[in-house]
């Protein structure tokens, strides 16, 4: 989704804004722009369709932009095609204010009609421009920018994170938020706003997160925040311990490849705070043993790959905890009038903690009394702040749109949580518990083993990169794993792929198999290996070209039957997807590479989806 940055300090804002925008590029976008203000030159704006590099090019062809306060934006088009005019910042007709916006103004047509009837002229097709025009309209009337801002916010329906620059007050930027992420960064003699912490960590690690209804006024050495009634608000600041280099490529061709290789370390860091002396401990959780014992059901809600983690979680939690577990797409769940109450535990999973569908679903269940435990990667993010309990994965900043290390860390976190609940409820045998703990301890090294030899995946990619459709099949955990493998492939290579429960093949899918169709058969789930083998034969009999994935000790049995084989080490069966996902990620990566795709920023996709 759109990225927002803002800076006010002692030096020229333009270079800092450009640098921060580049750090937001990973979110996915189609145009970029900045606005800077100073007393002599007033508002200066440059914006264009395309990447920040194109914006930089434009800036070299014009007089330097001077001014120590500015705002910047990367746009992911919703209203109006991606072009120069629809790019942000949007400037009001008399040039008094400039606006950057993330979110959707739902009543923009209504506001536009009102302003058109008052003689205001519009330049763009966007919903955002109405905010700039309405702000100037009120500002002309009251001549107090804060009064005008509050009058505008009163009339907006929808979601917004706004950065505002005003020609009359060149010493400040103003920010406002409702249902879209926005943070404040506190630097040495300077202040920032940003939609995401990666934009500012090169300058400051101290941030606070704006809440719905808040308005912030940032000047060089001071930040003031007010609530919706204009009362001052005391903000709590958070220290972000992410390393700046973690958000840089560090010699890898793509962030995605780097993040694939960071998985052993990310998983180790996620496990270690909770695993001591052979025991999983979640001492900080507010749920009591009585509550865990009285649990009626667990509902997992998430989107995208986080939902796929939930799919694996359903199998593993039911197996360990012995309570019914449902897993739902947050976008569906929020409108389903869910049957949850005080004895329901909601587990919300999100890398960013800013996915609007997940946040809305959580608000729905909280209003019905359910307890919400979130698994989140970004400290202090919106989802974390509205949850009863938060468990942070320690993946570090994930930049590639296609998630890899966040997925792996979410998986181990959910498994540890299941194991912890199971121990409290007495639903796991002590030797089984010990076996899983031992397997967890060994997992990072086993993941590294898979990553130590990537030549094989490059070779396989060279064999398959020109296919136009691919099917993944598997049963139980392999089915859930196939959903993620298939998503990785389609996201970054644009090959049409689907994942099917292998037992369902006969009920329709098998009619799609013809001579040479590529089927990726997942057979890592030991209890159903023989059935997986039968499914391989079934598709081969219809001409499929089968690439299989299995564990080292079953490789022999499969090799006789398939064209190509990928293997991973054996682990406890509930952790097997943590190893199985790596070959699927690497295969998708190298296939996309061979197809010449923009791997870190796939078309039309965004890293953090903050609109419905």
The residues annotated with a catalytic role in the active site are 2, 607
User: Cβ 168 to ligand G6P, closest distance in Å?
Assistant: 39
Q: Which is nearer to ligand G6P, 355 or 550 (CB)?
A: 355
**Three-class SS state of 236:** coil
E-state strands within 330-432: 344-350, 371-376, 389-392
Determine if 267 is a binding residue for ligand G6P (CB under 6 A): no
The radius of gyration of the chain's CA atoms, rounded to the nearest angstrom, is 26
User: Cβ 429 to ligand G6P, closest distance in Å?
Assistant: 33
Q: Which is nearer to ligand G6P, 180 or 505 (CB)?
A: 180
| Cβ–Cβ < 8 Å for 29, 3 | yes
User: Cβ 358 to ligand G6P, closest distance in Å?
Assistant: 5
| Cβ–Cβ < 8 Å for 296, 288 | no
User: Cβ 404 to ligand G6P, closest distance in Å?
Assistant: 9
Determine if 424 is a binding residue for ligand G6P (CB under 6 A): no
Strand partners, 345: 298, 371
Stretch that binds ligand G6P, among 253-261, 397-405, 431-439, 551-559 (CB under 6 A): 397-405
| Cβ–Cβ < 8 Å for 302, 348 | yes
Structure token pair of residue 276 = 């001591």
Residue written as token pair 């307890």: 371
Q: Which is nearer to ligand G6P, 108 or 407 (CB)?
A: 407
Cα distance between residue 398 and residue 198, in whole Å: 9
Q: Which is nearer to ligand G6P, 348 or 502 (CB)?
A: 348
Strand partners, 97: 166
The pair phi, psi for residue 267, each rounded to 5°, is -70, -40
**Three-class SS state of 185:** strand
Q: Which is nearer to ligand G6P, 46 or 491 (CB)?
A: 491
Cα distance between residue 218 and residue 184, in whole Å: 9
Q: Which is nearer to ligand G6P, 27 or 261 (CB)?
A: 27
Cα distance between residue 186 and residue 237, in whole Å: 9
The secondary structure element, H or E, covering residue 86 is none
Enumerate residues 319-378 that contact ligand G6P by CB under 6 A. Answer: 350-352, 355, 358
Q: Which is nearer to ligand G6P, 128 or 374 (CB)?
A: 374
| 214-330-153 Cα angle (round to 5) | 20
Cα distance between residue 122 and residue 116, in whole Å: 8
Task: Give me the residue whose beta carbon is nearest to ligand G6P.
Answer: 304
User: Cβ 491 to ligand G6P, closest distance in Å?
Assistant: 7
Q: Which is nearer to ligand G6P, 305 or 497 (CB)?
A: 305
**How many chain residues interact with ligand G6P (CB under 6 A)?**
16
User: Cβ 353 to ligand G6P, closest distance in Å?
Assistant: 7
User: Cβ 413 to ligand G6P, closest distance in Å?
Assistant: 13
Structure token pair of residue 573 = 């069966």
Q: Among 70, 609, 610, 611, which residue sits at the site for ligand G6P (rule: CB under 6 A)?
A: 609
Q: Which is nearer to ligand G6P, 128 or 610 (CB)?
A: 610
User: Cβ 355 to ligand G6P, closest distance in Å?
Assistant: 3
The maximal CA–CA distance of the chain, rounded, in angstroms, is 81
User: Cβ 402 to ligand G6P, closest distance in Å?
Assistant: 6
| Cβ–Cβ < 8 Å for 345, 370 | yes
Q: Among 403, 409, 415, 486, which residue sits at the site for ligand G6P (rule: CB under 6 A)?
A: 403
**Three-class SS state of 597:** coil
Structure token pair of residue 235 = 């903000």
Enumerate residues 281-310 that contact ligand G6P by CB under 6 A. Answer: 303-306
Determine if 401 is a binding residue for ligand G6P (CB under 6 A): yes
Burial of residue 336 (CB within 10 Å: 0-12, 13-18, 19+) is exposed
Stretch that binds ligand G6P, among 121-129, 310-318, 557-565, 603-611 (CB under 6 A): 603-611
Cβ contacts of 214 within 8 Å, gap of 6 or more: 176, 177, 225, 226, 227, 228, 233
| Cβ–Cβ < 8 Å for 585, 488 | yes
Cα distance between residue 340 and residue 347, in whole Å: 12
Chain residues that interact with ligand G6P, rule: CB under 6 A: 303-306, 350-352, 355, 358, 401-403, 605, 607-609
């Amino acid at each position: 989704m759109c990225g927002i940055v803002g800076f006010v300090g002692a030096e020229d804002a333009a270079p800092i804004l450009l640098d921060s925008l580049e750090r937001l590029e990973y979110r996915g976008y189609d145009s970029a722009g900045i606005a800077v203000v100073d007393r002599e030159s007033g508002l200066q704006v440059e914006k264009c369709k395309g990447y920040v590099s194109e914006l930089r090019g434009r800036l070299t062809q014009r007089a330097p932009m001077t001014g120590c306060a500015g705002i910047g934006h990367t746009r992911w088009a919703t209203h109006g095609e991606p072009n120069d005019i629809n790019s942000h910042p949007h400037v009001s007709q008399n040039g008094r204010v400039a606006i950057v916006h993330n979110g959707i103004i739902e009543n923009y047509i209504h506001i536009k009609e009102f302003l058109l009837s008052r003689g205001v002229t519009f330049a763009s097709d966007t919903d955002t421009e109405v905010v700039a025009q309405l702000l100037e309209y009120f500002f002309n009337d009251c001549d107090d920018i804060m009064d005008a801002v509050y009058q505008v916010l009163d009339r907006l329906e929808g979601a917004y994170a706004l950065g505002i620059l005003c020609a009359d007050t060149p010493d400040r930027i103003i920010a406002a938020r409702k249902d879209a992420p926005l943070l404040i960064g506190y630097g040495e003699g300077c202040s920032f706003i940003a939609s995401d912490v990666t934009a500012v960590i090169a300058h400051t690690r101290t941030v606070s997160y704006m809440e719905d209804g808040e308005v912030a006024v940032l000047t060089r050495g001071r930040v003031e925040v007010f609530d919706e009634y204009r009362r001052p608000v005391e903000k709590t600041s958070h220290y972000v311990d992410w390393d700046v280099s973690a958000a840089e490529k560090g010699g890898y061709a793509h962030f995605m490849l780097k993040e694939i290789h960071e998985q052993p370390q990310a998983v180790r860091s996620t496990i270690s705070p909770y695993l001591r002396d052979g025991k999983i401990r979640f001492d900080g959780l507010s749920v009591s043993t009585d509550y865990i014992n009285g649990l009626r059901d667990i509902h997992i809600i998430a989107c995208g790959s986080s939902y796929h983690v939930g799919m694996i979680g359903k199998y593993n939690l039911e197996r360990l905890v012995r309570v019914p577990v449902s897993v739902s797409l947050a976008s569906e769940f929020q409108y389903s009038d869910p049957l949850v109450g005080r004895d329901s535990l909601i587990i919300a999973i999100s890398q960013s903690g800013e996915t609007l569908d997940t946040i809305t679903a959580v608000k729905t269940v909280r209003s019905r009394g359910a307890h919400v435990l979130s698994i989140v990667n970004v400290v202090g993010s919106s989802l974390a702040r509205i949850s009863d309990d938060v468990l942070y994965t320690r993946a570090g900043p994930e930049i590639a749109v296609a998630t890899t290390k966040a997925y792996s860390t979410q998986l181990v976190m959910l498994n540890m949580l299941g194991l912890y609940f199971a121990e409290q409820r007495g639903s796991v045998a002590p030797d089984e518990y010990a076996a899983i703990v031992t397997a967890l301890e060994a997992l990072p090294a086993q993941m590294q083993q898979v990553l130590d030899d990537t030549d094989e995946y490059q070779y396989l990619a060279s064999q398959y990169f020109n296919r136009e459709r691919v099917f993944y099949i598997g049963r139980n955990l392999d089915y859930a794993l196939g959903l993620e493998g298939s998503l990785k492939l389609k996201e970054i290579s644009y090959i049409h792929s689907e994942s099917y429960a292998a037992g369902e093949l006969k009920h329709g899918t098998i009619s799609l198999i013809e001579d040479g169709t590529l089927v990726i058969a997942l057979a890592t789930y030991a209890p159903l290996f023989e059935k997986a083998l039968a499914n391989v034969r079934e598709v081969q009999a219809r001409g499929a070209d089968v690439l299989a994935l299995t564990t080292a000790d079953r490789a022999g049995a499969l090799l006789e039957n398939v064209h190509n084989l990928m293997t991973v080490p054996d682990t406890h069966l509930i952790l097997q997807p943590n190893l199985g996902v790596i070959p699927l990620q690497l295969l998708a990566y190298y296939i996309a590479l061979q197809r010449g795709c923009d791997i870190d920023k796939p078309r039309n996709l965004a890293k953090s989806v903050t609109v419905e």
